[in-house]
Amino acid sequence: MQENSKNSRDSLRESAEQFAGSSNASPIIISGIEAAIKPKAVRLKPVANHSSEIAVKCDAAIQAASLKLYKESIEIGKEKSNSIILYRPIAQVVPSSTLLKKLEDHEEHNRNLIDVQFQTQQLNQVNCSQPTLNPHQSLTPWSNTNELQCSSNSVYESEKTKVKSQHATNNGDLYSSDGYKWRKYGQKQVKGSKYPRAYYRCTHPSCPVKKMVERSKDGEISEIVYRGDHNHSMSQQIKQTSSSRLREQESVFDGNGRKLMDDLLVNDSLLEENFF
DNA sequence: AGCCTTTGACCAGCG
DNA sequence: TCGCTGGTCAAAGGC
């Protein structure tokens, strides 16, 4: 079990290093806060509203910055940082506002370089950071992160998932936002974490999925980590509950579970597309 | 009776 | 080898 987790981490790390190593992007250092993003999220497309040349230039800068940040995520734990980086190299989500600010700062710096290469008039017409503000474009990992956090507090990875939500309202108990039923099997105060971490496993027989939830004193979830994939549907799980609890669970499920699950499914596809 | 949470103990990995 | 740490187990008690 723990070995599986370790293997997952190792494989992710290998993939990340391979990806980073294959990149020809020159390192770009963003002053101040450093953040980390999964590499696949930096697959960027040219922006329709901009000239293709400008768009490519901007995307290349974003991609290079993303790669730089992701490489640094690999080094997490080896170096000290005063940023809000999550101290795990699996999936790291940084508040979109921070990232947007970073991007703007970076673009400000980059704009000076572009000035040398492009006509000043062109630069006055193009704001490189603008694409990240368009909610309909999945141009950057930051925009995706923003979407994910807005739509749901749960984000899946195939092997292991990490969610960082600063103001989650759904709890991690019996029927959480994902609609599955969980049983708590442990709790521990983890070093480096403000709040105790609770360990849950899916109550469905033979379902290997577990999740870890860190919750603040006021009950708000500060972090959720999913591990594994459900080998059953939610409906199957509902059917398996006892009749006495079924009524209670169905009421919860009918109330918010469906909506939240729909959001989750959207997030699943988003992550598969952008992170892996 | 069945299922849940709580919580201290235990185990394995790692430096 | 040893201590630290994260993850899990399992007994006890509650609903």
Integer Cα distance of A234 and A128 in angstroms: 43
Q: Does residue A222 surpass a pLDDT of 60?
A: yes
Residue at A196 is within a domain = yes
According to the model, what pLDDT value does residue A218 have?
65
In the structure, what pLDDT confidence band is assigned to residue A137 with cuts at 50, 70 and 90? Answer: very low
* pLDDT attached to residue A232: 81
| Residue A214 included in any domain | yes
pLDDT the model gives residue A224: 85
Predicted pLDDT at A136: 32
- For residue A220, what are its two tokens? 């708000």
Residue A114: which pLDDT band, with cuts at 50, 70 and 90?
very low
- Overall average pLDDT of the A228-242 stretch: 65
Residue A223 resides in a domain: yes
Radius of gyration for the alpha carbons in chain A, expressed in angstroms and rounded: 21
Q: Which nucleotide is nearest to A187 (CA to C1')?
A: B7
Residue A229: pLDDT band by 50, 70, 90 thresholds?
confident
Select, from the ranges A6-15, A187-196, A247-256, A265-274, the one with the highest average predicted confidence (pLDDT).
Answer: A187-196
- pTM of the predicted model over 0.85: no
Enter the tokens of residue A173. 């108990």
Structure tokens belonging to residue A86: 């999550």
Give the separation between CA A101 and CA A93, rounded to whole angstroms: 15
* Residue A217: band (very low, low, confident or very high) from pLDDT cuts 50, 70, 90: low
Q: What is the pLDDT of residues A191-211, one digit of tens each?
A: 888 888 999 999 888 888 898
* Residue A254 domain flag: no
The count of structural domains within chain A is 1
Q: Is the pLDDT of residue A44 over 90?
A: no
CB neighbours of A201 closer than 8 A, spacing ≥ 6? Answer: A182, A183, A185, A207, A209, A210, A211
pLDDT of residue A161: 52
With a CB cutoff of 8 Å and minimum separation 6, the contacts of A186 are: A198, A199
Per DSSP, A34 falls in state: -
d(CA A60, C1' C14) / Å: 59
pLDDT of A237 above 80: no
State both tokens at A147.
Answer: 């979407």
Residue A32 within any structural domain of the chain: no
Q: Straight-line distance from CA A2 to C1' C2, in Å?
A: 22
CA dist A210 → A1, A36, A90, A186, A207 (Å):
11, 25, 16, 11, 9
Tell whether the model's pLDDT for residue A15 goes beyond 50: no
CA A59, CA A46: separation in Å to the nearest integer? 7
Report the pLDDT value the prediction gives residue A177, as an integer from 0 to 100: 57
Q: Considering only residues A81 and A222, tell me which one the structure prediction assigns the higher pLDDT.
A: A222
| Percentage of residues of chain A with pLDDT beyond 70 | 19
Cβ count near A16 (within 10 Å):
21
Highest mean pLDDT among A14-18, A175-179, A199-203, A255-259: A199-203
Q: Please, is A35 exposed, middle or buried when counting C-beta atoms within 10 Å of its C-beta (0-12, 13-18, 19+)?
A: buried
Measured CA A3 to C1' B11 distance, in angstroms: 13
> Which three-class secondary structure string do you get for A75-125?
CECCECCCCCCCCCCCCCCCCHHHHHHHHHHHHHHHHHHHHHHCCHHHHHH
* Interatomic CA–C1' length for residue A245 and nucleotide B2, angstroms: 11
Q: Taking the C-alpha atoms of A5, A142, A195 and A185 in order, what is their torsion angle to the nearest 10 degrees?
A: -40
Residue A183 has a pLDDT of 92
A239 touches strand B (CB under 7 A): no
A192: domain range?
177-231
* Confidence (pLDDT) at A184: 93
In a domain, A205, yes or no: yes
Residue A115 maps to a domain: no
In a domain, A243, yes or no: no
CATH of the domain at A195: 2.20.25.80
Q: Tell me which residues have their CB below 7 A from strand C.
A: A 1-2, 5, 185-188, 190-193, 197, 199, 210, 212
Query: Nearest Cα to A100, choosing from A143, A47, A44, A136?
Result: A143
